[in-house]
Structure 1
Amino acid sequence: MRKLFHSEYLIMSSSRQWDCPVELSKKEKFICSKLKNSGKLFVFLREQRHRIFDAQMEQQLLTLYADHPIGKPPVPAALLAMASLLQCYEQKSDAAATLEAMFDVRWRMVLNCLSLDDEIAPFSQGTLCDFRHRLVRHNMDEVLLEHTVNIAREFGGFGHTQLRIALDSAPLQGAGRVEDTFNLVGHALELLVSCAAKIRMTTEEQIQLEAGTQLVGKSSIKAALDIDWSVAAEKQNAINTLLKDVLQLQQWLSTQAPLVSEHKELQACLTLLDTVLSQNIEPDPDGGSRIKQGVAEDRLISLHDGAMRHGKKSSSRTINGFKQHIAVDIDTKLILATCVRPANEPEHKAAEWLKPKVLKVGEVKELSIDRGYLAASWTVELFHLGHKVIAKPWTSTNKGKFSKKEFEIDLLNRRAVCPAGHSAGFSRATPTQIRFGKERCDKCALKPQCTDSKTGKTLTLHVNEEMLQGLRRFVETPEGRAQARERTKVEHALASICNRKKHRARYIGLRLNEYDLNRTAAITNLHISMAMAA
């Protein structure tokens, strides 16, 4: 007998609601009694599922299926949302989540499926995958995260308050294969040939034969080149050999009918190839072409996941993929917002993605950040509104000479005093420079410790120098250092997320990985709610 899925099981019913009892059955009470020491979240999800997926949330989830064919009711959307949370909690694949929902009594209890026969699955693997894409398309994962914040506030008895927010980020290695120049060009050519074959309704081998390519279609471009990669001259010849295939395909396309050469999908493949070539290849002064010196801005590193980028978390820690950012309420430790951005994007740009999500929850009166977020316009905006910004300002060693920190800078009266006691005025021009002058500096006994410039010491003030000066004074006080240490709450929250979902992306692309981050953050918030309810 074939196994049935719940979508087939529900075909007899026209209801799309997830009809769940609130009171625990005798069997559910027995299961919960066995989960006192481990698996407490299963108990909490069962006891509070009517709050987590209340009538309003369920109606919002049902809108995801507004386009679903009449007469074929889907699996209840709230059930699939709960299954997605369980999948995240136990870090299961779609296939494994389907099996857990069939055989794990904890899952079946939470999903209200204990009464179903063991051979009936509540949902299929495809249904769960389809739900995930619908959820992302309608940004309902963000709504769900916001809903878990409201649930925690209900348990904690919190009213509307001004928020004290902390931001932090962690690297996320991409799921796509990182490729070097040869493999990037080869992969782009293979995509072009595959697309042309599909449009022409023929085989890729036929396209390669007509175009006269030598390397495209081989199991390995580098193996087909068969050179000693430690010899620079052979490597140089190899790139020109590969570019001959590029030229052959371009010439072949020029002979094709517009129906083929101007096809939308083929043009997209050509654009991708042009991007790869422009980012990785440049003319060789000695003739031919060579691999570009240095790294092009916003360089593609994987065609499997075009959103991945090279980046750095620190001077010694590189990332091939993304950075994941979270905003945490310092007072409650709740995660209010998340975003996933390319690894090469500066942290301060991520703050602009987090800002509107945080403001949905409440007004921010305090922002605690590390130096990466200092350049964010949100940070400057809060400072000028009179709200508190807590961060260590940027520092410079100045090659062992006196840094700006050693100078007394009076922004109100527009004067600066150097360590030797000399003063100099400055204007309001931007960027503002303070010049102490050659004559004065040449006579100063501290010049060897201050500057090597023949024209005298010059200080350049940042456009937000007032904010930076205030931060410097604040973090040097006991109160400031104590408040800065509160950032450990966001660091712990991010560490908890990374421990659960690990440092490698589960999905391809920015948005799906943000969905994964949102549901992991929702699990963290539900744990906080569970602690409040205890």
Structure 2
Amino acid sequence: MQGTSRPDRELLDTAALCGHLLSPGSVHALLAEHRHRLFPDELFADLFASGRGRPSVPADVIATVMVLQALEGRSDREAVVALGTDLRWKAAAGLAITDEPFHPTVLTLWRNKLRASEAPQRIFEAVRAVITETGVITGRNRRVLDSTVLDDAVARQDTISMLVAQICRVRKLVPELAKVWVRHHNLEGGRPPCDWGDPADIDRLVSELVDDANELVWAAEDLVAEGVELSEAQGDAVALLALVAGQDVEPGDGPGRWRIAQRTAADRVCSTVDPQTRHAHKTRASYRDGFKGHISVEPDTGLVAECDLGAGNVADTDAAPGLIDDEPAGTEILGDAAYGSGEFRDHLDNKNLKAKIKAPPLRPAVAGGYTLDDFDIDLDANCVTCPEGVTVTINKSRSARFAKNCEGCPVREQCTTAKAGRVIKVHAHHALLAAARAFAGTDEFDSDYRRYRPMVERTIAWLVANNNRRCRYRGIERNRIAWSVRCAAVNLKRLGTLGLGFDGGWTVARAALAA
């Protein structure tokens, strides 16, 4: 059953004895005074279906510890130690000086309850409700979108390590498959013997591992055909084995031979320990594994209006619509070129949101030559005119092929090197993209973009401080909850700086509203 905090104070209540030592406006001071208003018992009532049994740790205490844990970047064990020894934590959680902390696994239990609930990000939503009530971002009609790569909690595995580990895991999870013969060097796990300096021996090992994996997958299919029902965990393990057995290999020399492919598979699984982590390429020079944290920020205050977390290889434009779905019409959406796709601009246009997003640069087919904007594209007439005045029709595949018109053209070397002549691909949202490129060169765009867009980097710096760039959990859902709690903690810290208080309702200092 759900436990509740006592309305009266203990004799040795930490906040009563030491509350004056808390820094005014700090998160500890805010929670010590307002945690019951921020995180009332009703907010977590649905997590406890029964009114019987031993009372849980009070919800306001757990929420307070989770916020402070996210704020300071502590593990569960470190957070519980701080709750027992740090007077600031005791005061924030409403404990007496002599109170003992709960066991670290209680935090795991509550996170699992949140993850299984219909509102797993309710701590962030509770803080966002406070922001809305204060009016600190009311009338501020700009939102800046950005993302940052969050390192995963596991190590990247190479193909051989993944195959060996998953073969062992499948044989352990499905007892019937333990009877399937596989080569002995795979049974104990670890790195099988191989001459790593000999490419032929590496290919031999890869072939053996792939053959063993395929035998197990086929045997599992036979079990299902015979009516054996695999559990969800067993089915997922077999499916993952089939995936890692095929994603990184290609046919080798001879029948039944395999070798490591000299390419990277799309949506490649890079660890069997956390199959949801992905290669993340935020820039051409940055190659990391993990997840992407996405945020929508009000630039003047630095407050996070919305947040999300997804796989590291998910495009920013795929996550962006969910960040701005609740924004009113007329809101200006700012972002870098990663958000400049025609599809996302069309989404903003349909919602009556104004895009101030950097347009992706056009790359000429020939260095220093003509770009798409040098061609006159008339969508009404369904034709394209080149810089030399030659006009061709746009075909059904949205391509304009100049073909023989390029023969003998005096500026061909500035236009194309293709033997078949220049081909112009007309984007489905060409009009929006062309208008965006034209708008990007105006003073209105430059002044707002340079003033407000960089402010999101400040918020990201706050979010990844204290080693919070590295995720502590495996899987998207667990880390999405952790990311939302981190955003809530940073918002609370920022609200404290802005002078958050309660006087019949949540308020902030007038100076913050006027800024």
**Alignment TM-score, normalising by the size of structure 1:** 0.82
> Is residue 47 of structure 1 aligned with residue 33 of structure 2?
yes
Q: 1:425–1:21: structure 2 CA closer, same or farther, 3 Å change rule?
A: farther
Q: Is the 8 A contact 2:70 2:486 kept in 1?
A: yes
How far does residue 48 in structure 1 lie from its aligned partner after superposition? 2.7
Q: 1:446–1:514: structure 2 CA closer, same or farther, 3 Å change rule?
A: same
Higher helix share: 1
Q: Is the 8 A contact 1:52 1:148 kept in 2?
A: yes
> Is residue 469 of structure 1 aligned with residue 452 of structure 2?
no
Q: Give the AA of the match of 1:64.
A: L
- Aligned residue for 1:507, secondary structure, equals coil
> Is residue 150 of structure 1 aligned with residue 118 of structure 2?
no
Equivalent residue for 1:73, pick from 41, 51, 55: 55
> Is residue 228 of structure 1 aligned with residue 195 of structure 2?
yes
Equivalent residue for 1:171, pick from 129, 136, 149: 149
Q: Is the 8 A contact 1:425 1:434 kept in 2?
A: yes
> Is residue 317 of structure 1 aligned with residue 286 of structure 2?
yes
Q: Distance in 2 between matches of 1:452 and 1:255?
A: 55
Equivalent residue for 1:387, pick from 353, 356, 361: 353
**Aligned equivalent of 1:215:** 185
Q: Distance in 1 between matches of 2:111 and 2:472?
A: 13
> Is residue 491 of structure 1 aligned with residue 457 of structure 2?
yes
How far does residue 411 in structure 1 lie from its aligned partner after superposition? 5.0
How far does residue 172 in structure 1 lie from its aligned partner after superposition? 1.5
Equivalent residue for 1:242, pick from 209, 214, 217: 209
**Aligned equivalent of 1:62:** 45
> Is residue 31 of structure 1 aligned with residue 18 of structure 2?
yes
Q: Is the 8 A contact 2:14 2:90 kept in 1?
A: no
Q: Distance in 1 between matches of 2:23 and 2:60?
A: 26
How far does residue 157 in structure 1 lie from its aligned partner after superposition? 5.1
- Aligned residue for 1:109, secondary structure, equals helix
- Aligned residue for 1:312, secondary structure, equals strand
- Unaligned residue ranges in structure 2 (runs of 5+): 500-508, 510-515
Q: Distance in 1 between matches of 2:220 and 2:183?
A: 13
**Alignment TM-score, normalising by the size of structure 2:** 0.85
Equivalent residue for 2:444, pick from 457, 472, 479: 479
Q: 1:114–1:417: structure 2 CA closer, same or farther, 3 Å change rule?
A: same
| Structure 1 vs Structure 2 CA RMSD | 3.4
How far does residue 195 in structure 1 lie from its aligned partner after superposition? 1.6
- Aligned residue for 2:23, secondary structure, equals coil
Q: Give the AA of the match of 1:284.
A: G
Q: Give the AA of the match of 1:231.
A: D
Q: Distance in 1 between matches of 2:108 and 2:488?
A: 19
Q: Give the AA of the match of 1:322.
A: F
Q: Give a deviation string over 1:79-106, Cα, whole Å, max 9, x none.
A: 2111100111121111121121112111
**Aligned equivalent of 1:5:** none
Q: Give a deviation string over 1:228-272, Cα, whole Å, max 9, x none.
A: 212111111222343464477679879999999654354443332
Q: Distance in 1 between matches of 2:148 and 2:495?
A: 24
Q: Distance in 1 between matches of 2:351 and 2:46?
A: 39
Count of residue pairs brought into register by the alignment:
494
> Is residue 328 of structure 1 aligned with residue 306 of structure 2?
no
Q: Give the AA of the match of 1:475.
A: A
Q: Distance in 1 between matches of 2:347 and 2:322?
A: 15
> Is residue 341 of structure 1 aligned with residue 310 of structure 2?
yes
User: Superposed, which structure 2 residues align to 1:111-510 within 5 Å?
Assistant: 111-114=93-96, 117-118=98-99, 120-121=100-101, 123-156=102-135, 159=138, 161=139, 163-197=141-175, 207=178, 211=181, 213-218=183-188, 220=190, 222=191, 224-225=192-193, 227-243=194-210, 245-246=212-213, 262-264=229-231, 265-293=233-261, 294-356=263-325, 359=326, 362-363=328-329, 365-375=331-341, 377-384=343-350, 386-394=352-360, 395-400=362-367, 401-409=369-377, 411=379, 418-420=386-388, 422=389, 424=391, 426=393, 431-434=397-400, 438-439=404-405, 441-442=406-407, 444-454=409-419, 456-485=421-450, 486-510=452-476
Q: Is the 8 A contact 1:174 1:505 kept in 2?
A: yes
Q: Distance in 2 between matches of 1:33 and 1:343?
A: 44
How far does residue 498 in structure 1 lie from its aligned partner after superposition? 1.4
Between 385-394 and 409-418, the greater mean CA deviation after superposition: 409-418
How far does residue 443 in structure 1 lie from its aligned partner after superposition? 5.5
Q: Distance in 1 between matches of 2:8 and 2:396?
A: 66
Q: 1:259–1:91: structure 2 CA closer, same or farther, 3 Å change rule?
A: farther
Q: Distance in 1 between matches of 2:273 and 2:340?
A: 33
Q: Distance in 2 between matches of 1:382 and 1:248?
A: 50
Q: Give a deviation string over 1:414-457, Cα, whole Å, max 9, x none.
A: 6666445x263655x66534456744x55654332223345554
Q: Distance in 1 between matches of 2:167 and 2:77?
A: 33
Q: Give the AA of the match of 2:195.
A: D
- Aligned residue for 2:472, secondary structure, equals coil
- Aligned residue for 1:398, secondary structure, equals coil
Q: Distance in 2 between matches of 1:146 and 1:511?
A: 16
Q: Distance in 1 between matches of 2:150 and 2:64?
A: 25
